[in-house]
Amino acid sequence: MSFENLGLRPEILTGVKFQGYIEPTPIQRQAIPVIIQGRDILAGAQTGTGKTAAFTLPLLHLLSTYGHPGGHRPRALVLVPTRELAAQVGESVETYGKGLHIRSTVIVGGVGINPQIKCLRQGVDIVIGTPGRLLDLAGQKVLDLSRIEVLVLDEADRMLDMGFIHDIRKIIHLVPKKRQTLFFSATYSKEIKALADTILDKPKLVEVSRQNTAPETVDQCVFHVPKSHKCKLLSHLIIEGDWNQVLVFTKTKHGANRLALQLKKNGIMAAAIHGNKSQSARTLVLADFKACKVRVLVATDIASRGLDIDRLPHVVNYDMPNIAENYVHRIGRTGRAGSTGEAISLVTDDEAELLRAIERLMKKVIPVKRIEGFSGSAKVPDKDETAGVEAHKRRRGGNKGVFRGGKPREFKGNSGGGRRRRYPKR
């Protein structure tokens, strides 16, 4: 099937061809015709499946086909969890809608509000934004959502993870009840299902990949390594493998900054991106990384979704995620749109249980690789091993309150007339 078979306007097809896309992805083949029909949709799709185009293409088709009854007020609202994803969706709308008279704007926090106010007052058709700044402008009566015809929730599960559920419900109360709603989520939790049930009207279910699974195009492996050797091993992999572009995930912002600095000391150009960076700084770093001016981008989980990097070859979990689902979102940055990629996890003994949780989620064992000079067991003792260790402690007198003979100390009282009895010295 080609894009021409999906019923899209010629102007949109021109934008698609300009990007070099010939065949639609599975999510695009299933979702686009349903959205063009005006139906609500509940779509389950992992990152890298082409879901952004799956809703931006038919959204542009609908708005350009049915005129503009809303005047200067926006007709479509796209809710996203992060500034990076908002920028990505905004870029897609501009790219695919070049031949149309469709105006769009991105509304996010972390940047000046005045240009956004000016743009809204001039009139737009599509607003793409994060919940906080959207509610701020709606509260100032600058953003009028009373004429919204299409509401899109992209990466709804991520928005709930980030605590946006109350903001989402407030925004839903500001848009008309009679509307078309497009609901996209990588995972389906009870909370996601409950939210979808309250805002969707007889939706068409579209699911193109199994839940909580990594793309099949990603080659995954694990290195068991002591924490003190992690940076050395990462540097070794980058230099010996001649990696020119690698996305590395850490648990904390401080850890991201520290690792980027350590890599620079090892002669590897690296930069950190996380929530403490200003929007302009994050945009600049991301641009340098895409242009391969920065070899390593060290990120926290804020970057695990919404980063659209063409043909990113390598992702490294420097710190294992505490939530197993985040592993899938992290490594979904590579192996996108049919390209291949490699996901490597550096696992310490303390992170062994986190690895097991990930393997249980994905119902598979991730292969282990070894490099001479870098080793670590990352193994949690089983019950039999634990019993053996405890028995050894008792024999050696390693437990508190036990003599080497195995008989307990007896203490009756700690002062006054209390009787205190000890075994004689040996």
| pLDDT, tens digit, 9 for 90 and up, residues 18-53 | 777 778 888 999 999 999 999 999 998 766 678 899
Verify that 164 and 279 share a domain, yes or no: no
Verify that 307 and 225 share a domain, yes or no: yes
How far, in Å, are 86, 303, 339, 369, 412 from residue 221 at the CA level?
Answer: 31, 21, 18, 7, 57
Verify that 126 and 260 share a domain, yes or no: no
Residue 357 lies in a domain: yes
Residue 369 lies in a domain: no
Question: Is residue 419 over pLDDT 60?
Answer: no
Verify that 66 and 176 share a domain, yes or no: yes
Q: Both tokens of residue 21?
A: 């896309």
Residue 245 lies in a domain: yes
Verify that 270 and 409 share a domain, yes or no: no
Question: Is residue 215 over pLDDT 70?
Answer: no
Question: Is residue 402 over pLDDT 70?
Answer: no
Verify that 120 and 231 share a domain, yes or no: no
Q: Both tokens of residue 374?
A: 């870098």
pLDDT band at 420 (very low <50, low <70, confident <90, very high): very low
Q: What is the pTM of this model?
A: 0.62
> Residue 348 and residue 352: Cα distance in Å, rounded?
7
Residue 368 lies in a domain: no
Verify that 172 and 306 share a domain, yes or no: no
Domain that holds residue 130: 3-207
**pLDDT tens digits, residue range 201-212?**
999 999 875 555
What is the total count of domains within the chain? 3
Residue 87 lies in a domain: yes
Residue 344 lies in a domain: yes
**pLDDT tens digits, residue range 233-254?**
999 999 999 999 999 999 998 9
Residue 380 lies in a domain: no
Residue 212 lies in a domain: no
Verify that 248 and 309 share a domain, yes or no: yes
